[in-house]
């Protein structure tokens, strides 16, 4: 019989009159693996902040932790930690310049009245906890040099020091490969055996269904319900989160494309990818699916001239071209939307208008070689309306937009260059389900206009329901090619994760 | 077998550190300089360098701690100038003043001015570089106004003698005595003390942590105000100590003698591998950074190269060292991007 660990009733929270949480009830059993899902703005983070004592709920709330009623007025984040509740935020809150062992034992530095460091103690504690949950991390390494997955394990080890009862992880899997997710899950299962409760906050639906024992869905600050993962599938969960039916229809799989747009022959680069051949037709959406580290991004970058290939030929509309720098790629009408839009795609503090027109400034010049205001406004307006970017003003800074709208600005920026070939690297990573599907609509519209699109992703649904053809990439090579009409989700999943 | 493995690991670890390259550069330069001038590679000259660069070396240690914490201080030369001038003024006018007060007063002034920096940075939540450029101007401007730029000299006898105390006494071939100066000893003591604080106190580790990730530091419950206060006051204390040493070396105090040295000292610390972004850097590196600049200046002086050319050389050496670090970093980045192609 499950023992109740945490029971929260009638939780509401207002921010400047906006209702972030509305009378939510939420509970966790001891030792269970629970998932909290919802779109951005659904109130997930607010709920976590209340559990961890960072925010206080409105009056009328009632919280029982291990059967004891909390004094909500005086409940601080320190109390929460003392009660064994640890939150691992998406940014992990580690110190990149310190070693693994010091990060794990860091809280020993913070103990009250402690003046001197006992390195032997820190060593011992770190060693023990790492061996205890059976992870293989060099304790001497600086945390900043580890992969995100290993950093996450360090954060878990850190939480395990002291009396951990509830581990809350915010979007833990968003940048992990399949193998890394598996090893994270195996650690979580070990924690479960010790009676530690884990709460995942996530919107990666497949993974939620794989590990969760119960799923709580939030929407617009209200609790939609608590579900057994067995009664959920991808489609139903999407519906619960968005309140909208999002239909997954494979694109017109019968359409035949005949006009060759891009041909890549024998593309190789040492330590990146090998012998890649592909053909992209006008109006076609070609999916490249591969896990992190399969060479997919490296390949895309070399098509765009940033990571020049060692060997191979590129033909555009039958004519051989040389792409040595990204200037060449731009001249041949190739656009590239990077995986990391925050770092590479956008100038965050600049306005939407400036971001959209940054790639076409040459075209906006007037006779005096100055930027023509009218032309610029036209271009911005076209971009904003084509991509249905919902903003009060095109003068607002890009960083004030939501993820979905930011991604639209990146797309608008590249579409304004009127590309013939558009490479999209993980175009919807970290974006809500609803925003995702509208980005997908835009991609389909662009293809219908005759642009050839290469869509790179590691999400099965994304390529299966948007592309005409799919190439599977593994260890830097193309290991399979399918027409979307010929393959199912399950089959594609197996191929991608093989070996 | 075990021991052997450890030895290899240690060798590799040493090679991975930037400091080792800096060390080789200094050795190489020293060899070249001693070919041109045999006087360079003598114990006497080494002791002399260690004495005259103790001023710069102490400031560099203070600055390293500020950089580790994720901050920066431009104002420390103005801070030192104010501390020094007040001390000198009191000494010249009251020759009977005790040694204790002569040390206590500049150190206190340094700490107070450092505290002003820390408060402004914390409470205005403003970039330290702007705040300390501003305070540099305020500290120095006020001093110039009050002092009228007047030079001070004629210090008490003990003040003159103190600077000549040596620990090891040796004689050069011409029979002139030389030795390891007490000023160098103070510098070494400061390095050791700072090493202890950084490595073995929770305070030191918290400074590293704050420099590495200030958000995480706040979440871990670190008191940011307290840490910043310590760091800038620590810098201020060392500015006070360094100012005494500079006065001992020069035996005259001019309001503009120390001003303008701040960039050279920042360069030395960064050359030594400290990151301007905070969180990384080492005392060994800082020592080597100061040594490199000392060796170049001293070597070129012995070769009678004009001081204008010395500046050019120092600039070039900094560019070269930074390029080496940048190339190394690029090599590392390239290694990270490798995909297992299964060849």
Say whether A95 and B216 touch across the interface (CB within 8 A).
Answer: yes
pLDDT digits (tens, 9 = 90+) for A257-295: 888 999 999 988 888 888 999 999 999 999 999 877 788
Please indicate if any CB of chain B lies within 8 Å of the CB of A294.
yes
| Best of A52, A85, A88, A97 to mutate (most B CBs within 10 Å, chain B) | A97
Domains and CATH numbers, chain B: 18-165+177-323 (1.10.3470)
Phi, psi of A448, rounded to the nearest 5 degrees: -60, -25
Residue of B nearest to A298 (CA): B337
Question: pLDDT (tens digit, 9 = 90+) per residue, B123-158?
Answer: 999 999 999 999 999 999 999 999 998 999 889 988
Q: Do A96 and B279 touch (CB under 8 A)?
A: yes
Section A199-209 average pLDDT: 79
pLDDT of residue B336: 46
Of chain A, the percentage scoring pLDDT greater than 90 comes to 27
pLDDT digit string, tens, across residues B286-297 = 999 999 989 888
Work out the pLDDT band at A14, boundaries 50, 70, 90.
confident
- Give the pLDDT band of residue B325 (cuts 50, 70, 90): low
In order of A358, A369, A370, A371, the CA distances from A366 in angstroms are 16, 5, 6, 6
| Arithmetic mean of pLDDT over chain B | 87
pLDDT over 70 percentage in chain B: 90
The DSSP output letter for A476 is T
List of chain B residues whose C-beta atoms are within 8 Å of the C-beta of residue A91: 215-216
pLDDT of B338 reads 58
Predicted confidence band of residue B11 (pLDDT cuts 50, 70, 90): low
Q: Which chain B residue's Cα is nearest to A476?
A: B341
**Rounded percentage of chain B residues whose pLDDT exceeds 90:** 54
Structure-block tokens of residue B192: 């050791």
Contact A233, A461 (CB under 8 A): no
Containing B333, the helix (H) or strand (E) segment is: helix B307-336
Q: What is the pLDDT of residue A242?
A: 82
Burial of B111 (0-12, 13-18, 19+ CB in 10 A): buried
- In this predicted structure, the answer to whether residue A358 has a pLDDT above a threshold of 60 is yes
What pLDDT was estimated at residue B329? 64
Compare CB distances from A116 to B201, B212, B221 and report the shortest one's residue. Answer: B201
The values of phi and psi at residue A271, to 5°, are 75, 10
ipTM of the complex: 0.85
At residue B196 the predicted structure's pLDDT band, cuts being 50, 70 and 90, is very high
d(CA B20, CA B26): 10
Give the three-state DSSP class for A473. strand
- The reply to whether residue B213 touches residue A78, judged by beta carbons under 8 angstroms, is no
The answer, yes or no, to whether residue B335 has pLDDT greater than 80, is no
Percent of chain A with pLDDT over 70: 97
Q: What number is the average pLDDT over the span A388-400?
A: 78
Measure the CA–CA gap between A204 and B207, rounded to whole angstroms. Answer: 37
**Model confidence at A1: pLDDT above 70:** no
Name A228's bridge partners: none
Closest alpha carbon within chain B to A147: B336
A144 DSSP assignment: G
Cα separation, A223 vs A241, in Å, equals 10
Distance CA A99, CA B208 (A): 11
Does residue B111 contact residue B292 with C-beta atoms inside 8 Å? no
pLDDT given at position B211: 95
- Which range (A302-316, A457-471, B318-332) has the least confidence? B318-332
- How far is Cα A394 from Cα A385, in angstroms, rounded to an integer? 11
3-state secondary structure of A223: strand
Whether the CB of A273 is below 8 Å from some CB of chain B: the reply is: yes
List beta partners, residue B291: none
Task: State the nearest Cα–Cα gap between B330 and chain A, in angstroms.
Answer: 14
* C-alpha to C-alpha distance for A11 and A22, rounded to whole angstroms: 7
First to last CA, chain B: 33
First to last CA, chain A: 39
Nearest to A20 by CA among A290, A244, A301, A221: A221
Of B315, B47, B282, residue with least CA distance to B184? B47
3-state helix, strand, coil in chain B (%, to 5): 75, 5, 20
**Is the distance from CB of A96 to CB of A155 less than 8 angstroms?**
no
* CA dist., res. B311 & res. B264, Å (int): 10
Average of per-residue pLDDT across A336-354:
78
Q: Which long-range contacts (CB under 8 A, 24 or more apart) does B296-302 make?
A: B296/B29, B298/B40, B298/B45, B298/B48, B298/B49, B299/B29, B299/B30, B299/B33, B299/B36, B299/B37, B299/B40, B302/B33, B302/B37, B302/B39, B302/B40, B302/B45
Q: How far, in Å, CA of B57 to CA of A393, rounded? A: 54
Separation in Å, CA B6 to CA B1, B3, B340: 9, 5, 29
C-beta of residue A160 within 8 angstroms of C-beta of residue A81: no
* pTM score above 0.90: no
Q: What is the pLDDT of residues B37-91, one digit of tens each?
A: 888 888 888 899 999 999 999 999 999 999 999 999 999 999 999 999 999 999 9
What pLDDT shows up at residue B223? 92
Using CA atoms, how far apart are residues A435 and A402, in angstroms rounded to an integer?
10
- Tokens at A280, concatenated: 């992209």
Pick from B200, B201, B209: CB nearest A106: B209
Query: Which whole number is the average pLDDT over B206-223?
Result: 92
Q: Which domains does chain A have, with CATH numbers?
A: 4-242 (3.40.50.300), 260-497 (3.40.50.300)
SS3 B191: helix
Residue B92: which of B159, B144, B161, B183 has the closest Cα?
A: B159
Please judge whether A117 and B215 are an interchain contact, meaning their C-beta atoms are less than 8 angstroms apart. no
Count the residues in chain A.
Answer: 499
pLDDT at B5: 40
**Residues of A with Cβ-Cβ distance to B221 under 8 angstroms:** 78, 110
What are the pLDDT digits (tens) for A214-225? 999 998 889 999
Strand A62-65 relative to strand A4-15, pairing? antiparallel
Q: CA-CA distance, A374 to A155, in Å (whole number)?
A: 52
Handedness of CA A103, A105, A111, A115 (dihedral sign): negative
Whether the pLDDT of residue B6 is over 60: the answer is: no
B301, burial (CB in 10 Å: exposed 0-12, middle 13-18, buried 19+): middle
DSSP-derived 3-state class of residue A142: strand
């Amino acid at each position: 019989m499950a023992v109740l660990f945490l029971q929260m009733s009638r939780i509401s929270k207002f921010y400047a009159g906006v209702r972030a949480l509305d009378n939510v009830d939420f509970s966790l059993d001891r030792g269970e693996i629970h998932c909290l899902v919802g779109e951005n703005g659904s109130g997930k983070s607010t709920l976590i902040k209340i559990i961890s004592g960072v925010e206080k709920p409105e009056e009328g709330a009632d919280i029982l932790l291990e059967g004891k009623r909390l004094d909500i007025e005086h409940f601080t984040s320190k109390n929460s930690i003392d009660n064994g509740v640890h939150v691992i935020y998406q940014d992990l809150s580690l110190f990149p310049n310190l070693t693994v062992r010091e990060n794990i034992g860091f809280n020993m530095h913070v103990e009250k009245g402690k003046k001197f460091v006992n390195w032997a103690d820190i060593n011992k504690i770190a060693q023990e906890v790492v061996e205890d949950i059976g992870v293989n991390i060099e304790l001497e390494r600086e945390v900043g040099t580890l992969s995100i997955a290993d950093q996450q394990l360090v954060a878990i080890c850190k939480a395990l020091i002291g009396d951990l009862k509830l581990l809350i992880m915010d979007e833990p899997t968003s940048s992990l490969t399949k193998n890394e997710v598996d090893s994270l899950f195996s650690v979580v299962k070990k924690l479960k055996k010790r009676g530690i409760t884990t709460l995942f906050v996530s919107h990666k639906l497949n993974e939620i269904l794989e590990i969760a024992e119960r799923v709580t869905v939030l929407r617009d600050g209200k609790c939609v319900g608590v579900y057994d993962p067995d009664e959920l599938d991808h489609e139903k969960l999407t519906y619960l989160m968005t309140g909208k039916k999002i239909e997954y229809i494979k694109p017109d799989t019968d359409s035949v494309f005949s006009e060759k747009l891009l041909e890549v022959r024998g593309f190789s680069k040492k330590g990146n990818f090998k012998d890649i051949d592909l053909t992209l037709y006008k109006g076609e959406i070609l999916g490249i699916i591969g896990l992190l580290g399969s060479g997919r991004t490296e390949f895309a970058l070399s098509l765009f001239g940033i990571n020049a290939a060692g060997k191979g030929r590129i033909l555009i509309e039958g004519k051989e071209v040389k792409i040595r720098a990204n200037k060449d790629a731009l001249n041949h009408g190739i656009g590239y939307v990077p995986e990391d839009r925050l770092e590479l795609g956008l100038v965050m503090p600049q306005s939407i208008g400036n971001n959209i027109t940054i790639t076409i400034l040459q075209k906006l010049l007037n006779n005096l070689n100055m930027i023509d205001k009218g032309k610029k406004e036209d271009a911005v307006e076209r971009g904003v309306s084509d991509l249905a970017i919902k903003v009060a003003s095109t003068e607002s800074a890009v960083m004030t937009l939501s993820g979905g709208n930011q991604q639209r600005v990146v797309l608008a920026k590249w579409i304004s260059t009127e590309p013939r070939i558009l490479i999209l690297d993980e175009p919807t990573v970290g974006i809500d389900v609803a925003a995702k599907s509208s980005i997908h609509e835009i991609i389909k519209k662009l293809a219908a206009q005759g642009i050839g699109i290469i869509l790179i992703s590691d999400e099965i649904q994304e390529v299966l329901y948007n592309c005409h053809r799919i190439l599977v990439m593994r260890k830097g090579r193309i290991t399979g090619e399918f027409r979307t009409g010929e393959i199912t989700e399950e089959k594609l999943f197996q191929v991608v994760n093989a070996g | 077998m075990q021991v052997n493995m450890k030895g290899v690991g240690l060798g590799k670890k040493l090679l991975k550190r930037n400091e080792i390259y800096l060390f080789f550069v200094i050795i190489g330069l020293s060899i070249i300089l001693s070919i041109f001038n045999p006087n360079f590679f003598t114990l006497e000259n080494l002791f002399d360098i260690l004495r005259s660069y103790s001023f710069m070396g102490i400031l560099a240690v203070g600055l390293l701690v500020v950089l580790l914490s994720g901050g920066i201080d431009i104002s420390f030369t103005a801070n030192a100038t104010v501390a020094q001038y007040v001390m000198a003024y009191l000494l010249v006018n009251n020759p009977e003043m005790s040694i204790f007060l002569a040390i206590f007063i500049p150190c206190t002034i340094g700490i107070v001015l450092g505290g002003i920096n820390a408060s402004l940075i914390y409470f205005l939540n403003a970039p330290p570089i702007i705040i300390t450029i501003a305070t540099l101007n305020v500290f120095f401007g006020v001093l110039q106004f009050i002092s009228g730029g007047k030079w001070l000299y004629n210090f008490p006898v003990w003040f003159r003698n103190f600077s000549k105390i040596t620990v090891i006494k040796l004689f050069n071939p011409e029979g002139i005595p030389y030795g390891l100066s007490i000023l160098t000893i103070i510098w070494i003591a400061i390095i050791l003390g700072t090493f202890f604080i950084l490595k073995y106190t929770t305070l030191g580790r918290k400074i590293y942590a704050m420099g590495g990730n200030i958000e995480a530091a706040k979440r871990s419950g670190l008191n940011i105000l307290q840490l910043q206060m310590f760091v800038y006051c620590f810098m201020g204390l060392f500015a006070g100590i360094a100012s005494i040493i500079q006065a001992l070396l020069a035996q005259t105090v001019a309001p503009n003698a120390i001003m303008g040295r701040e960039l050279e000292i920042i360069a030395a610390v960064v050359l030594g591998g400290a990151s301007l972004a905070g969180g990384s850097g080492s005392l060994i590196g800082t020592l080597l950074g100061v040594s490199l600049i000392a060796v170049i200046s001293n070597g070129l002086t012995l070769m009678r190269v004009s001081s204008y050319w010395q500046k050019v050389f120092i600039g070039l050496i900094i560019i070269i060292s930074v390029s080496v670090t940048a190339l190394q970093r690029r090599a590392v980045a390239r290694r990270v991007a490798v995909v297992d192609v299964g060849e």
